[in-house]
Amino acid sequence: MELGQSSHPRRKTRRIMVGDVPVGGDAPITVQSMTTTRTADVDGTLQQIYDLAMAGADIVRCTCNEIEAAEGLARIVPRSPVPIVADIHHQYRMALAALEAGVHCLRLNPGNIRKPEHIKLVAQEARDRGVPIRIGVNGGSLHPDLYKKYGGRVTPEAMVESAQMELAYFQEVGFEDVKISVKASSVPLMIEAYRQLSEVVDHPLHLGVTEAGPVPGGLIKATAGIATLLAEGIGDTIRYSLTADPVEEVRAGRTLLESMGLRERRNIDLIACPSCGRAEIDVIEVARKAQEAFGDREIPLQVAVMGCVVNGPGEARDADLGIAAGRNKGHLFVRGQNVAVVPEDEMVDALVEWATYIHEHGVEAALERARSTSEAARRAAERDRADLLRAKGADANRSEQRVEVIRRL
């Protein structure tokens, strides 16, 4: 399957621009996150924005909850490496202040800015400045009238109606530069709301499971909701709402898009075997150290950490680079071919060094580099493989011995 393909073709949406980042249409699906600093703290907020951008955020949102925050935005916007969205709740005046600060997009919650004249005033001002708005419906703060209308429950229909009501106010003043979200903390609810919304509007959709919570539960909930919709071709920009460092939100978002083939790989894709009775190393620890060593380095390769040389190189033969543990040493392989043998405590360093080399010079150059040593590396791997098979047998689970014991019970 080609990059960007999925079982369902991507739904056609209109394209809007958030600063210089396109959202919707055939633009790449973008990753967003939100700062956790006080926006009035300009240096602290900028530091976090840079951290998020380094991790792969395309767009960053900051709260604009007080006049000092709007003043902070005026200083943050010109120094930010990515477009800034101002998050507005309750006070339409903060939306006007954020526009004055030069933000690239607003997020309005229709559940808590309710007066039509205020909504239209903000939309007019955004229209005149060419700034898009996200209509950010949230299941937890639905307009009270809609809550009542739908029997005191938050339903997908109520959330979609909330978005449409807001959109109608915008349309009254000729403003359509809009993206929409209908987030809920319930995964089935948000999935259904987005499905229904995608049937009735062609605006770009911002996906998220709100208040997903801490990892690992939050990651799983957010992935369940966002990935389900993306696989159906729904969604133009995503945000993981985790109770964690926002950098983790960005890493999660990038990883999801890359693993679904919806974005080009940017960093290392570290794959590792789950380990088993054959493992000659602590796979979890080596994989953790490798993850840490690569960090956010922009090396778009797939790197494998495998616990044994018996099955490792074969199982990870499609990886660009990998290491499989032998007796006190690691067998490095490039696209399944053994290229070097390194001491166990140098495995991670060797991975980083070879990954950097492949990134700079290509796989063929790496294989050429190893030409003089690869035959010796292959023979060493063969020896280790044979030794391990002798020591542990072809049956790593010792099934027959276990069966004998079980029969005697």
Residues recorded for the chain: 409
Q: Which two tokens stand for residue 81?
A: 């490496």
Residue nearest to ligand SF4 (CB): 307
Stretch that binds ligand SF4, among 12-20, 218-226, 260-268, 302-310 (CB under 6 A): 302-310
When asked if residue 278 is in the footprint of ligand SF4 (CB under 6 A), the reply is yes
When asked if residue 315 is in the footprint of ligand SF4 (CB under 6 A), the reply is yes
When asked if residue 279 is in the footprint of ligand SF4 (CB under 6 A), the reply is yes
Nearest distance from C-beta of residue 291 to ligand SF4, angstroms: 17
33: left (phi over 0), alpha (psi -120 to 50) or beta: beta
The span from the CA of 322 to the CA of 332, in Å, is 6
Nearest distance from C-beta of residue 181 to ligand SF4, angstroms: 40
Applying CB under 6 A, the site for ligand SF4 has a residue count of: 13
Amino acid, res. 380:
A
When asked if residue 275 is in the footprint of ligand SF4 (CB under 6 A), the reply is yes
- Cα 102 to its chain centre, rounded Å, is 27
Stretch that binds ligand SF4, among 190-198, 243-251, 301-309, 374-382 (CB under 6 A): 301-309
Stretch that binds ligand SF4, among 83-91, 293-301, 305-313, 378-386 (CB under 6 A): 305-313
CB closer to ligand SF4, 361 vs 398: 398
Nearest distance from C-beta of residue 396 to ligand SF4, angstroms: 6
CB closer to ligand SF4, 82 vs 388: 388
Nearest distance from C-beta of residue 301 to ligand SF4, angstroms: 19
Q: Which of 124, 164, 186, 311 binds ligand SF4 (CB under 6 A)?
A: 311
For 358, the 3-state DSSP assignment is helix
CB closer to ligand SF4, 269 vs 280: 280
Nearest distance from C-beta of residue 387 to ligand SF4, angstroms: 14
When asked if residue 312 is in the footprint of ligand SF4 (CB under 6 A), the reply is yes
Amino acid, res. 88:
I
Tell me the per-residue interface mask from 19 to 58 with ligand SF4, x by CB under 6 A, - otherwise: ----------------------------------------
DSSP letters, 153-214, are S--HHHHHHHHHHHHHHHHHTT---EEEEEEBSSHHHHHHHHHHHHHH--S-BEE-BTT-BS
When asked if residue 307 is in the footprint of ligand SF4 (CB under 6 A), the reply is yes
**Residue 156 · residue 187 · CB < 8 Å:** no
Nearest distance from C-beta of residue 381 to ligand SF4, angstroms: 13
Q: Which of 197, 308, 348, 370 binds ligand SF4 (CB under 6 A)?
A: 308
Q: Which residues contact 409 (CB under 8 A, 6 or more apart)?
A: none
Amino acid, res. 89:
H
Nearest distance from C-beta of residue 85 to ligand SF4, angstroms: 44
Q: Which two tokens stand for residue 327?
A: 């007796």
The span from the CA of 406 to the CA of 409, in Å, is 5
When asked if residue 313 is in the footprint of ligand SF4 (CB under 6 A), the reply is no
Q: Which two tokens stand for residue 298?
A: 């922009």
Owner of token pair 């902070």:
72
Rg (CA), the chain: 26
Stretch that binds ligand SF4, among 102-110, 127-135, 231-239, 311-319 (CB under 6 A): 311-319
**Residue 45 · residue 82 · CB < 8 Å:** no
The span from the CA of 292 to the CA of 189, in Å, is 36
**Residue 306 · residue 325 · CB < 8 Å:** yes
Nearest distance from C-beta of residue 310 to ligand SF4, angstroms: 6
List interacting residues with ligand SF4 (CB under 6 A): 273-276, 278-279, 306-308, 310-312, 315
